[in-house]
Structure 1
Amino acid sequence: MDLQTVLGLATTHGYQGVELRAHPEEPVHPGLDTGRRAAVAREFRDAGVVVSAVAGYPQVAAPGPDEPVLAEIRALARLAHDLGSGCVRVFPGGGTAPGAEADAAAVRRLAAAARETAPLGVRVLLETHDSHRRAADVARVLAAVREREPGSEAGAGPLWDLMHTWLGGESPAQSLAAFGAVPHYVQVKDIASAEDTTPLPLGAGVLPLREALRALGGHRYGGWLCWEYEKRWYEEAAPLGPLLAAGRARLDTLLSAGTGD
């Protein structure tokens, strides 16, 4: 989908930001030159839409040398900075590595990345995903990052993907308790079941959206609430465009209920 279409959908349906998937097959990625980055940033400013995050694919807990992972994070952070975004998304990717070994790699890399990205005003957000799908897993890593690199909160933090913590057996209350503080960035979605994760319209599936938004404080929540609709991986999913108006209304209803409005 081209940027003008994306921005048109966002403005038409009242979405304040867009999370950009920074893959080479997409319109925006780290390979863009300075001129194109400036043009993209201008398009977003003119539309009144924010780049909520640059979603990359570095795997900070994966086996192997550190430098290729760190180089990928640096490139994403520079892109985010140039687009006026304060966040980049990374994955754990620990695979079948022993838990302690995967944790150690993630801690080492996130601490190093935080030192470099914080001066840019960019935080590296570790998503609850794959080998570290529970909030408890991500929180454990980030606590060790803070011990290794005091003050690293400015450069590293959590990204709460509600589906993955739910699949990991955590309730929203348990996830927030594990994080210890309300995350600045939350991804919501809906699915039919643990066995069928095909994207559904918000409210049409089984994920505890109401409980999660209530736990976040409803409209009092001050971070990014991102509806992640992964049609890219599920061809059978309905097109996103016709769902956006109802999705925005559903989020407003849930946020109001969570605030007690």
Structure 2
Amino acid sequence: MKLAFSTLGVPGLPLDDVLRLATTHGYHGVELRAHPEEPVHPGIGPKERADAAARFGAAGVEVLGVAGYARVAAPADDDGPVIDQVRELVDLAADLGSSYVRVFPGGGDEQSAEEADATAARRLGVAAEYAADRGVRVLLETHDSHRTGAAASRVAGLVGHRNVGVLWDVMHTWLGGEQPSASYAALSPYLGYVQVKDIAGPDDTTPLALGAGVLPLAECVEVLSREGWDGWLCWEYEARWYESAAPLSGLLGAGRELLGRLLNESA
């Protein structure tokens, strides 16, 4: 498996510094948070995109994915704005040479689960054709209204297109009451990559160093290894939302060592 980290853990850091952290600590890729606070987002032009792609190429680090904030299950009378958001993310990913775009469900409480599934599937079905033309796969993250593997896979199954899949966030499936084996069983036909992290508990999701909290990281890696899955593990350290979180830069080395050890033990 290949290892990456998300720039959510180092918000606003210039790309050269992000790449220095990746190469120093042995990460194969970086997931880019696609937000105007960051150096890379859908609002930048062709020159900036080409420059970013060149910097990653020169460093030998892959752009694993573009983590966007489109909410594909959000209730609205008009699908157009959401589909446009996803297309913008797909264009950015393609320009950067990335294979994946992350979107959220965002179904909310205003509609039933069936209605939210249908809304998300309809929008993703339209976006899938555009993504296919650009060589990008759109991944619905296990999050908010669809936090379990069972819920996210319902949507992917309704879409039924190879350019739509699921991003497994191990925190959300755990908070949703799923065991890693059940999450993988639901997600395996659609799995793009896996976000790992650690927290103190269900009532305190402040990010911790990998292995310092309660999330079943060893079990997740063991399930993936046992099933022969050979994709990406991406450490999403949500420092942007927690002022008390320790700086990710000081944790990356130990995190890389822990993931390497878990992979070796599961081999």
Relative to the length of structure 2, the TM-score reads 0.93
Matched, 1:102 2:82: no
Task: Report the CA distance shift for 1:182/1:109 in structure 2 as closer, same or farther (over 3 A).
Answer: closer
Q: 1:22-75, CA deviations, whole angstroms, 9 ceiling, x for partnerless residues?
A: 001110000111111000000000010010000000000001121000000000
1:169 aligned to which of 174, 177, 190: 177
How far did 1:219 drift?
A: 11
Q: Which runs of 5+ in 1 are unaligned?
A: 147-151
**Aligned-partner residue type, residue 238 of structure 1:** A
Counterparts in 2 of 1:174-213, with a 5 A limit?
A: 174-181=182-189, 183-213=191-221
Aligned counterpart, 2:256 = 248
Kindly indicate whether the alpha-carbon contact (under 8 Å) linking 1:2 and 1:27 is maintained by their aligned counterparts in 2.
Answer: yes
Is 1:36 equivalent to 2:44 in the alignment?
no
Counterpart CA distance in 2 for 1:23 and 1:142 is 25
Give the structure 2 partner of residue 138 of structure 1: 152
- Deviating above 4 A after TM superposition, structure 1's stretches of 4 or more consecutive aligned residues are none
**Counterpart residue number, 2:105:** 92
Output the CA distance in 1 between the equivalents of 2:133 and 2:192: 18
Distance 2:16 2:226 in 1: 31
Cα 1:130/1:8, change in 2 over 3 Å: same
Structure 2 stretches lacking a partner, 5+ long: 1-12
Q: Is the 8 A contact 2:153 2:190 kept in 1?
A: no
* Distance in 2 of aligned mates of 1:170 and 1:162: 9
Partner of 1:239: 247
The answer on whether the counterparts of 1:182 and 1:216 sit within 8 Å (CA) in structure 2 is no
**Paired residues of 1:218 and 1:255 also in contact (CA < 8 A):** no
Structure 1 distance, partners of 2:188, 2:127, is 22
Q: Does the 8 Å contact 1:110/1:156 carry over to 2?
A: yes
Deviation track 1:190-242 (CA, whole Å, cap 9, x = no partner) reads 00000000000000000000000000017953211100001000010000011
Q: What amino acid is aligned across from residue 185 of structure 2 in structure 1?
A: A
Question: Which of 1 and 2 has higher RCO (CA within 8 Å, sep 6+)?
Answer: 2
Tell me the alpha carbon deviations over residues 171-204 of structure 1, each in whole angstroms, 9 at most, x when there is no partner: 0001011124372300000000000000000000
How many correspondences in the alignment? 253
Which residue is 2:7 aligned to?
Answer: none
1:77 alignment counterpart:
90
